[in-house]
A and B are shown apart, each in its own frame.
Chain A
Amino acid sequence: MEIEQAVTGRTVTSSRAPRLANWARILMAAAFSAAGLLAGTIAGPSQLQVNLGPMPFDGYLSGGVNPYMPVYGSNPQTYGGACPSGTTTVRACYQAILRDFYNNGVGGQGVSGVRIQFGVCGGGYSTPLQGCGSVWTSVSGPVLGTGGLSNVCNGTGGGGSKACARSLQICTHTGLKM
């Protein structure tokens, strides 16, 4: 299992320069000095987050652990190898893990967040897009009722339609003005 720690970087610099759009070029002209070292230190409070690894959204509600969990089981750094004995569903496995985070924490420190990776075209049992492998105009999704992201929109597992409608609205929004 991997963990991550996040802390706020605080310094004692008295003023904050405007953000630089092109900091690298500015750096070229900057003198290399210990100024940065004297600027301050990394300081707390810190918090603990856990990397759960690839999240098999396609099979999260499936009735069996296989084939989804062996993706993790081969990697001792991730949690799949530690599903509680007798766990029969992917969701039950993750619920047990999350319950452990909440009740006991990792190393007794508590877990405030998790990190996940998710496939976009099918890798890691996550398939929000359909038609991958073709030209981009033939790719579609996320689509209701198929793939791992369907629960965003069908209300299953705590979902609802309100955010779905908003999501689809933005999905069809083209010509973004940045």
Chain B
Amino acid sequence: MCAFFADLHTYGIKNVALTPALGDWGAAAQVGCANGCPQKIGAPPQPTPACSLTPVALLYSPTLPYGEVTCSPTPPYTQWYSCTGSPQVCTCQNNAGYPANENDNLAYNCSPSNPIFAGWQNIYNAINAVLAAAKQNSLTVFELDVMNEMDTVLVPVVARCVVDNAQTQTGNPDLVSSLRYYMGYWGFDEGRVVWDDLWDRSSLAGYNCEDVYDDYARAMKMDSVASAVGGGVIGVPYLPSPQNGLYCGGSVGTQPPPPQYVHVYMFQMPVGHAQPDIVDVHDYPSVQCPAGVNCALESNAQVSSEAQIDFTDIVHFMALVDNSSALFMVGETWSNTNNSGTYGSPNGTANCEGGHWTRRPRR
């Protein structure tokens, strides 16, 4: 690792953004585990009260503080596996691989813990070693991006990657405070501990609306993650009015007496922190593509129009979270064209211009 960082320094690269892969491929079977990745399928330990729809078995990865929906052909774990026809064709339900208890606002509390979780302190140790190596080679850790594109709206259990409540014996479960500590220890900006997220797109050109956070709904996922960090509410709003692919409207709701209904109220995170001083957005300015439709036909003007809305909304988001002076990182744009990548039009050369930013002069 140190050799890589030394190479960065040698070739004039001064900044490095780090993402510890807590998500699937960090310990997944598909790539990179020389001796087989240490996943496990098993009956979940059940918290009290347990979520109402927890599967009989979950897939566990050591670096995720929750289980995932598994697809096993081995009884008794076949809940998401089915075979039909002759010859038989066996398939998994399309939520296989998703975090458990999706679409349950209470999942942060009621979803099972992970019996083979590697432990927060062990994970911090690994991250800390990487930070040390960066410092050792005179690099700046531009970001410590904890988790990619978390959906704390539909999958609130992933907020355990902000502040965990289920593996508290394995180390400090407050990732925000802990990782800020390690960043600061090595002299890096503590405010650069961040959770990037997607910017939502409308299926109708130019459409926008207000979400439950009093922000533009294109920012809904970013709003929810910021709320998770800030100690606000996460999950699906009560009685939203989805329009054109955006989560418009809705309210926080009020906590009812049992029996609880998963969307009657949004879930209140237990701990609040100041926001990061960087905003990391994955944005593909374009109209949301319906399934099966080739959206690569959008013109530069169309992409530019959507980009202008998106970037204006980003300014609104930054002001709303009192982060107007933050650094703004837009991720997953594409070389030379600054277009909207595979999720939108390749004709998006007007993307950045729509965002009102000044580009660094070409050499």
Is B305 positioned at the interface, with any CB of A under 8 Å from its CB? Answer: no
Once the chains bind, are A3 and B230 in contact (CB under 8 Å)?
no
CB-CB contacts below 8 Å: B310-363 with A: 311-312, 314-336, 338, 341-342, 352, 355-360, 362-363
Report chain B residues within 8 Å CB of A157: 2-4, 6
Q: Smallest Cβ distance from B324 to chain A, in angstroms? A: 4
Q: How far is the CA of A9 from the CA of B272 in the complex (A)?
A: 24
Counting chain A CB atoms within 10 Å of each CB, which of B18, B135, B174 scores highest? Answer: B18
Once the chains bind, are B2 and A25 in contact (CB under 8 Å)?
no
Q: How far is the CA of A14 from the CA of B342 in the complex (A)?
A: 40
Once the chains bind, are A171 and B125 in contact (CB under 8 Å)?
yes
Is B19 positioned at the interface, with any CB of A under 8 Å from its CB? Answer: yes
Chain A interface size band reads: 35 or more
CB-CB contacts below 8 Å: A144-178 with B: 148-153, 155-160, 162-164, 166-167, 170-171, 174, 176, 178
Once the chains bind, are A43 and B358 in contact (CB under 8 Å)?
yes
Once the chains bind, are A132 and B118 in contact (CB under 8 Å)?
yes
Report chain A residues within 8 Å CB of B133: 149, 151-152, 159, 163
Is B17 positioned at the interface, with any CB of A under 8 Å from its CB? Answer: yes
Once the chains bind, are B3 and A39 in contact (CB under 8 Å)?
no
Once the chains bind, are B326 and A9 in contact (CB under 8 Å)?
yes
Once the chains bind, are B14 and A149 in contact (CB under 8 Å)?
no
- Produce 1/0 per residue, A89-126, CB < 8 A to B: 00100110011011001111111111111111111111
Q: How far is the CA of A13 from the CA of B326 in the complex (A)?
A: 13
- Produce 1/0 per residue, A37-60, CB < 8 A to B: 101111111111101001111101
Q: Smallest Cβ distance from A48 to chain B, in angstroms? A: 7
- Contact among B63, B118, B278, B360 with A109 in the assembled complex (CB-CB below 8 Å): B360
Once the chains bind, are B335 and A106 in contact (CB under 8 Å)?
yes
- List the interface of chain B (C-beta within 8 A of A): 1-22, 24-28, 31-35, 37-40, 61-63, 115-119, 121-123, 125-126, 128-130, 132-133, 135-137, 140, 142-143, 145, 148, 167, 170, 172, 174, 177-178, 181-182, 185, 210, 213-215, 223, 226-227, 230-233, 252, 272-275, 278-279, 311-312, 314-336, 338, 341-342, 352, 355-360, 362-363
- List the interface of chain A (C-beta within 8 A of B): 1-11, 13, 16-25, 27-28, 30-32, 35-37, 39-49, 51, 54-58, 60-61, 71, 77, 91, 94-95, 98-99, 101-102, 105-129, 132-137, 139-142, 148-153, 155-160, 162-164, 166-167, 170-171, 174, 176, 178
5 nearest A-B pairs in the assembled complex, by CB-CB distance: A24-B232, A157-B3, A133-B38, A113-B15, A136-B119
